[in-house]
Structure 1
Amino acid sequence: MNRIVLTLLVVALSFLLGVAALSLWQSHRQEQRVQEEATILLERVRNVMKLVTVEGDVSEIFHTTSSRNVTLYLPLPSQFSFDKKATVEVRGTVLVGYDLEQLDVSLDPDRRVMTIRNLPEPEILAIDHDLVYRNLDESWFNTFSAEDYSRLNRRAKERLHDAALKSELMARAREQGNSVIAGIAYLAGAAGYELVVEEGTPLPEPAG
């Protein structure tokens, strides 16, 4: 009897060790795959000089319909139209600010003047968005392809971009940019320098 119990224990232990080994092996493979993906993403990193002054959350639901005409012989040629429709909800965060790559700042110690040149206008710096497909309705001769999903993704980002341009984000980004310039003017004045912004860009009054 004891021998039977011992045999069962050995079999159960062997089974559990096998399951544990299989789990560790699968986990190791999955970790390796994630690490490879992270390496690919790191190749996209590059140096930038951008100042984000405003971010806004934008959401929209839009509908799109695509038709395809197909000629069927029944037995005479007859043309039919097959539609595919999509209802997509797009949610995103829009970052608005300034690209400072061309900004030039110079100091004239003799005249005690700090000059800012090439002050840019606010622009949309980045859009981080997600898609939720609320409805996909396709027909037998007109189905959704990988290219269709890519097109919907591009169109969703374009709609967020257009919505951001029509919103108050650009005006608020400009206000924040003026506040930054005003702060620089205040610090320059405290150091005994006059701040000059060239190219006709209005200089806001320093905060008093």
Structure 2
Amino acid sequence: MATRRNQSTETQLKNILVPIIQAIGRSGKLIYIIIFGVLLYLGYQYFTKEKDSSTIEYNSALIQKQLRNVSKLVVTEGTYSQVMTYKDQKKYLMDMISFEKKALMVVNAEVTVSYDLSKIKYDINETTKTISITNIPEAEMKINPDIQFYSIDESTFNPFGTADYNKINKKVKAEIAKKMEKSKLKTNAENRLISELSKILILTNTMGWTLQYNGEVIKSQTALKGKLKT
């Protein structure tokens, strides 16, 4: 009885497996083609992904290098000369008596307008291929005056002292700063700043990245200049 049961089981297995094996034999070439296609697709995805990743890393490295090159002190120098007069009066007895002092001086000053671009704040987004500049430092003006006195008139009751020379120094610097704000020196300094920042703009445009300043896209040097003026 056991032998008959075993033979019956073997017969059932053959009836199930033989059609499957025959089907595999007939469609073997198709299976190989499908397997080959899947492997080819996976290989393409793998190598393409590696290439894109490498390109992004390479572009990001180039941009960071350019930002390091720009991160320097941009200095524009100029000179200023002017003849100035300083006057001071002290009055007594309800202004009936006054004692005046005055000085005639020639001022020669060296003026520098600088931008410390190492203080630029920015963010690099490799996913969106965007450089966002969030802060550009303000211009720093330094004035080194050389004051030569040619005529000093003073009174015993109103003599020149340290306080007067300090006032003169402050007045000279304030006067020069006022003139420099409207001079070509300030304009030239701004143009140098824009020239340095344009290097970043050119690089991003070339590489298909986007440059933003305070959330707005910058597409040209003119637009960059306009944003810095506002």
Query: Of 97, 112, 117, which aligns to 1:80?
Result: 97
Query: Of 127, 143, 159, which aligns to 1:143?
Result: 159
- Once the two structures are superposed, what CA deviation does each residue of 1:93-144 show, in whole Å capped at 9, x if it has no partner? 22213355763111111222212112345x3431222111121111221110
What is the rounded CA distance, in whole Å, between the counterparts of 2:215 and 2:160 in structure 1?
Answer: 51
Structure 1 residue 152 displacement after superposition: 0.8
Is 1:66 matched up with 2:97? no
Change (3 A) 1:182 1:100: closer
Paired residues in the alignment total: 152
Query: Of 134, 140, 155, which aligns to 2:150?
Result: 134
What is the rounded CA distance, in whole Å, between the counterparts of 1:95 and 1:108 in structure 2?
Answer: 35
Query: In structure 1, what residue type is equivalent to 2:83?
Result: I
Percent of residue pairs bearing the same amino acid type: 28
What is the rounded CA distance, in whole Å, between the counterparts of 1:172 and 1:163 in structure 2?
Answer: 14
Q: 1:110 maps to what in 2?
A: 127
Kept in 2, the 8 Å contact 1:50–1:97? The answer is no
Q: 1:90 maps to what in 2?
A: 107
> Larger strand proportion, structure 1 or 2?
1
What is the rounded CA distance, in whole Å, between the counterparts of 1:127 and 1:78 in structure 2?
Answer: 37
Change (3 A) 1:92 1:142: same
Describe the SS at the equivalent of 1:171.
Answer: helix
Is 1:163 matched up with 2:179? yes
Describe the SS at the equivalent of 1:176.
Answer: helix
Q: Which of structures 1 and 2 has the bigger CA Rg?
A: 2
What stretches of structure 1 of length at least 5 have no aligned partner?
1-48, 72-76
What is the rounded CA distance, in whole Å, between the counterparts of 1:136 and 1:199 in structure 2?
Answer: 57
Kept in 2, the 8 Å contact 1:94–1:124? The answer is no
Change (3 A) 1:148 1:78: closer
Normalised to the residue count of structure 1, the TM-score between the two structures is 0.62
Tell which deviates more after alignment, 150-159 or 188-197. Answer: 188-197
Structure 1 residue 60 displacement after superposition: 1.4
Structure 1 residue 90 displacement after superposition: 1.7
Query: Of 160, 178, 184, which aligns to 2:200?
Result: 184
> Larger helix proportion, structure 1 or 2?
2
The CA RMSD over aligned residues, in Å, is 3.0
Kept in 1, the 8 Å contact 2:123–2:132? The answer is yes
- Once the two structures are superposed, what CA deviation does each residue of 1:154-187 show, in whole Å capped at 9, x if it has no partner? 1111111111112122222222111111112223
Structure 1 residue 145 displacement after superposition: 0.9
What is the rounded CA distance, in whole Å, between the counterparts of 1:88 and 1:94 in structure 2?
Answer: 18
Change (3 A) 1:63 1:114: same
Tell which deviates more after alignment, 80-89 or 95-104. Answer: 95-104
Query: Of 73, 77, 90, which aligns to 1:51?
Result: 73
Normalised to the residue count of structure 2, the TM-score between the two structures is 0.56
What is the rounded CA distance, in whole Å, between the counterparts of 1:142 and 1:60 in structure 2?
Answer: 26
Large movers: runs of 4+ above 6 Å: none
